[in-house]
Amino acid sequence: MSNEAVIAQRSPYATEVETGKTYHWCACGRSKNQPFCDGSHQGTGFEPVAFTADKTGTVYLCGCKRAANRPYCDGTHEKL
């Protein structure tokens, strides 16, 4: 098994979140429920990244799985 995440897509996921709600971002890139975890990381050494929304609205979650500011997109996909 590779120690590098699968690139789910080379652009961010524009995602609606709600204040105070906790989400689990897929870090492995294997989830069928992108950008969220569906348990596909089992046995890969990857774990989802939990985050709680500080306000209701749109956030841009990393699709390439290589952002330094996980789970948020930081433009890393433009260099792949």
Residue 2's pLDDT band, with cuts at 50, 70 and 90, is low
What are the residues whose beta carbons fall under 8 Å from the beta carbon of 25, sequence distance 6 or more?
35, 36, 37, 48, 49, 50, 51, 61, 62, 70, 71
Q: Structure pTM?
A: 0.94
Query: What number is the average pLDDT over the span 51-55?
Result: 98
> Does residue 76 surpass a pLDDT of 80?
yes
Dump pLDDT digits (tens) for 13-38.
999 999 999 999 999 999 999 999 99
Write down the number of H helices and E strands in the chain.
0, 4
| φ and ψ at residue 48, rounded to 5 degrees | -65, 160
